[in-house]
Chains A and B, each alone.
Chain A
């Protein structure tokens, strides 16, 4: 028996051979399918709901920050330094205090000194609402006649309160200035300066984020909202690592797939948190294009050639002769198609702005993460047997397992002011997948991109910029 005969014998006999299957196999398959982990894989509707939740949460957060910051302009700033409470020398303990740290003196202002006339002028205008609005527990005197509250306004928006009691005649407001408290030993003794009352300030997220920052020379703290609209042509690249796939397969895959750039369009909200810092949150669409080309060797193409000739005989009759021949060409064929990797993403980043105050040119350094919300892959690739397979997928059942791909992002933004409310910007950036996408064929694929976002920034509210 020759090799060929042996091969044909086995092939013929076994090609359609059917073996008995265990009776419980169907139940096992169904059980296995139900057991497949669903973690991180979301249906499109779930992804949409998640995106909507993110968006609503961002709006609510923004609304909360905006409202609180606006209200806070009319309230007394909470002090995080050790608090001092003052009681009058004459022992008339008209000021009732619940907590040693109840009365706040802000260290920052230098001009807390108040004159008698100021005090008298303000003596009947105790602004209890302002005090109560403070997050600390300031309790004012119940006896208005014996208690004077001096609400010494440092600025329109920042106030320092000195509560004291007196008999109304020997009021020396200097004794109640913060500087004097440190300078006058006698008064120092009369102060209920309790070192035990020096507590660490409560965690104040607003202060940490810079929302309660003190005003600078330009005025009040920034509370600006912007919307940024942008688009970017992307130079893309990818790295492929084997996750069970053979080196030959990786090489073949790499040689058949060639990235052809991409683009990103999106919108993001930008909120100042402090004088120079921004929190940016948005939504963007990103598409990566890839040329899939496979060269197939030993392709045979047969062309049939039909030649018709008309022959006129000497007798004058005309005969049509048809010659049929075929031409066989052996060569290679290149199959080409375009793959598209489409993603909807949620960029979250922090930015730091610098540049000359009120200058026309501003610069920001941004960094953050881009979270994948949804993705659609379309096109073709090779499977492990080097056959062309479609990668069309909108769910987790495609060649590539869909997951919350996450990218790191860094950029430098250059802003040019056009009007007080409108900037244009160019933002060179770089991004790279820190979580790749796993393929059905044991490949982990990570994309990266470098590009330049071009867009506009529109100021929605807050302190207007000046040209």
Chain B
């Protein structure tokens, strides 16, 4: 069954197509949620809400562009709603203190996806959100500013600090590995 057929089946609310769609994309969207959530429990709630919305609003998909991109956007929106409920504050943090990542020694030699996920999850919330939106999702700082109701300059500074922390962590890991 092609992706197009699955989408059309989902628009008709066919359970078998919905299940196929879920099987195909649940893992990827779970990864998106994990990058934004503070813990796996919250990520699961986000994923659940995201799929409910995807199934409810799939008739909104205009068959223009990537369907996966459309689903990712919904998932990101859901994740941001969760975060905004908690009154996200973009505050400055002590870089040195925040850069003390606890990475298992076995992961030093290879910076696999799981390790990178851990590094991102350990970032302060504001840094994490901006880094995810800009680097992984590809949003511009102006778009992030609109989404998060902050200034574009704040987004830029948060990204710079996020990068700095990540670079330090990776450097530290490499030193330990050597």
Contacts and interface: CB of A to CB of B under 8 A. Distances in A.
B21 to A, nearest CB: 11
Nearest to A28: B48
Contacts of A19: 27, 30-31, 34, 117
Contacts of B44: 22, 25, 28
A11 B135 contact: yes
Interface string B52-71: 10011101101000000000
B170 A1 contact: yes
A438 B44 CA distance: 26
Given A10-B135, A13-B116, A246-B148, A386 B143 contact: yes
Contact of B47 (A3, A7, A25, A440): A25
Given A6-B163, A385-B147, A17 B56 contact: no
A249 interface: yes
Nearest to A246: B149
Contacts, number: 117
A239 B30 CA distance: 37
Given A7-B135, A252-B146, A397-B56, A17 B28 contact: yes
Contacts of A390: 60, 62
A17 B22 contact: no
A29 B73 contact: no
A11 B136 contact: yes
B90 interface: no
B146 A249 contact: yes
A386 B147 CA distance: 8
Contact of B60 (A11, A29, A386, A398): A398
Contact of B136 (A15, A32, A246, A248): A15
Contacts of B52: 29, 32-33, 36
A25 B146 contact: no
A11 B48 CA distance: 24
B5 interface: no
A13 B27 CA distance: 15
Contacts of B83: none
A397 B149 CA distance: 27
Contacts of B136: 10-11, 14-15
9 contacts: A13-B111, A13-B113, A19-B34, A21-B47, A29-B48, A244-B84, A249-B149, A384-B147, A385-B143
Given A26-B22, A246-B148, A17 B31 contact: yes
A18 interface: yes
A392 interface: yes
B145 interface: yes
Interface string B36-54: 0000000010011101100
B17 interface: no
A319 interface: no
Contacts of A11: 135-136
B12 interface: no
A398 B59 CA distance: 8
Given A246-B146, A385-B139, A397-B59, A17 B113 contact: yes
A248 B144 CA distance: 11
A410 B83 CA distance: 44
B109 interface: no
Contact of A1 (B31, B120, B167): B167
A21 B26 contact: yes
A247 interface: yes
Nearest to B11: A397
Interface in A234-285: 244, 246-249, 252
